[in-house]
Amino acid sequence: MRGRLPWRAARLREVRVETATARTLVFEVPGWPGHLAGQHVDVRLTAGDGYTAQRSYSLAAPPDGELVALTVETVPDGEVSPYLTEVMEPGDLVEIRGPVGGWFVWRPASRAPVLLVGGGSGIVPLMAMIRERRRVGSRAPFRLVYSLRDPESRYYAEELRRPDPGLDVTYLYTRAAPDGVSRPAGRVTLADLAEGGWPTGFEADCYVCGPTGFVEAAADLLLALGHAPERVRTERFGPTGG
């Protein structure tokens, strides 16, 4: 058995604006042991009087020395996320513990085709996998199906626009599709996952992440298409789960 996962001091180095309500926070964490794409961390905030609050957040980027990137969506009336996205400034400190989770991960040694299905902020751990694939020069074929409300709520918009050979990206808009997109706005369908995903004979590893209703629907559709349940990994996010 290994020792206890320690809390480490994490100093905010950089803030990137993703959407009107989401920020990517890059922390410097001395002693960070590295991580797998798809893992998450616990973040602990301590107030001046000793009061603490903890939450879990997905890592948004693959290992990069002592840098740890989280993308945080502001939960209206939340206790922790508004502090992270609106109050924190570079130089400020939090504590981070991790990495955690050994199931919803993509390992670079895998050659299997990968289908990533993300809803809203569920894109975050999937983006870590996309970036890890690029970082290690993997040739595993990736497809991303990204369901989001409207073009303005797209995370990592510029990066996902850049060509990334072997990665195909399909956007599903649920409320308002941009001009020139023929698919009417609406929730994920069987046809979306049939067209944007892999034929079941390819035995793809499927990663589904998003709000509970989205994950339930998408995972059920993947099974209906014939994907094996053991190849469908899920992570459910919600205002209270993440």
Give least dist CB 113 to another protein, A: 18
Give least dist CB 133 to another protein, A: 22
Closer residue to another protein (CB): 93 or 157: 93
Give least dist CB 102 to another protein, A: 4
Closer residue to another protein (CB): 182 or 240: 240
Closer residue to another protein (CB): 47 or 179: 47
Give least dist CB 222 to another protein, A: 7
Closer residue to another protein (CB): 48 or 76: 48
Give least dist CB 26 to another protein, A: 16
Q: How far apart are CA 190 and CA 8, in angstroms?
A: 44
Closer residue to another protein (CB): 167 or 217: 217
Contact 206, 42 (CB under 8 A): no
- Chain positions contacting another protein, by CB under 8 A: 1-5, 7, 9, 42, 44-48, 50-56, 79, 83, 87-88, 92-95, 100-104, 212, 216, 219-220, 222-223, 229-230, 232-234, 236, 238, 240-241
Closer residue to another protein (CB): 140 or 221: 221
Give least dist CB 150 to another protein, A: 25
Q: Return the bridge partners of 57, or none.
A: 41
